[in-house]
Amino acid sequence: MAMKDTYDRGYKSLFSHVELLKELLESFVSEPWVQDVNYNSAELVNTSFISPHYRKTESDLIWKLPLQQGTVLYIYILLEFQSTVDYLMSFRLLRYIVDFYSSLLKSSPDLKRFPPVFPLVLYNGEGQWTAPLSFSELVEKAGSSRYIPAFTYYKVAVNEIPREELVNIKNLVSTLFLIETLNPEDLASTISRLVSILEKEQGELIKEITRWLYQILGNRAPELITEATAQLTEVPGMLEANIERWKEEIYQQGLQQGVKRGVKRGVQQGLQQGIQQGTKQALLETARKLKARGVTIEEIIDITGLSRADIEDL
């Protein structure tokens, strides 16, 4: 499984929780209707109407959001983590929304007015977002502009949000964004802050955050992260003192194994294999501890990515 695909699905899982959706909208979307949403009645919508070609390459979510005055608004969230910016993003989103309206019309043939759809691009790439926000900017200026579709999408680019703003918001979404953009020396304190916020959350969301941490911190994080989310009230001080230590231990463990194999198979290949094996050893140790605590095999698979056979053999 490609790392990018795993990462996209991790973000999609996170923002499938209404708590995180609420924080995303209230903290990063400056639209008046955000304060009128009845989040207790919000529901996810199937996105199967998207063409198979795009379904393979993109992560997307549609939420149906009831507003306090009795109307409904849909929000289409496109999670965009490509290494390059798609200049034609407004065209792609326009197509998706037309497809969505077609699916509504198919299920309700007597529909006379379509519900509003708010298109949101959540961008987490390294480069600056340079694509036009308005579809009209993609059309040559000839003839009357009144016949050009007036379509615009809303953009949240993580790398454009000032660090001070993320620090001051102090919620789960802002802390996740901080972890992705911070310097290595700030990692321990930021994860400590994340853990303190998670103490107020429910178990399923904690599990999603754990999966995401495994993905963002070098694809696989060692046992410390799992213990952090399993024993939240005891963790912040331990994280502060030990997070740099486990990173170095995993690196050295892989390095030593890699050097041994490098003699026979080439240094580069051996190093890579060694690092992978070192990481797996840490995951096996994590799984062993979780199993001893009575965590189910299915949950351990979700958290560590190990196979059922590996866990059953412990």
CA-to-CA distance for 20 and 16, rounded, in angstroms? 8
Higher pLDDT, 194 or 14: 14
pLDDT reported for residue 33: 95
In this predicted structure, the answer to whether residue 133 has a pLDDT above a threshold of 70 is yes
Q: What percentage of the chain reaches a pLDDT higher than 70?
A: 65
**Among candidate residues 242, 311, 314, the one with its CA nearest the CA of residue 303:** 311
Q: What percentage of the chain reaches a pLDDT higher than 90?
A: 30
For the stretch 275-311, pLDDT in tens is 455 557 767 877 787 787 777 888 778 777 788 888 8
CA-to-CA distance for 93 and 77, rounded, in angstroms? 10
47: CB partners within 8 A, 6+ apart = 55, 60, 61, 62
What average pLDDT does the structure give for the chain? 75
In this predicted structure, the answer to whether residue 257 has a pLDDT above a threshold of 60 is no
Q: What is the pTM of this model?
A: 0.67
Give 220's pLDDT tier (boundaries 50, 70, 90).
very low
- Mean local confidence (pLDDT), 136-155: 88
3-state helix, strand, coil in the chain (%, to 5): 60, 10, 30
Joined together, the tokens standing for residue 249 give 């231990």
Higher pLDDT, 110 or 191: 110
* Domain-wise residue ranges, the chain: 3-138+147-176, 182-312
68: CB partners within 8 A, 6+ apart = 36, 37, 38
Give 224's pLDDT tier (boundaries 50, 70, 90).
very low
Separation of first and last alpha carbons in the chain: 24
For the stretch 52-73, pLDDT in tens is 555 545 578 999 999 988 899 9
Upper half-sphere CA count for residue 45 (Cβ side, 13 Å): 20
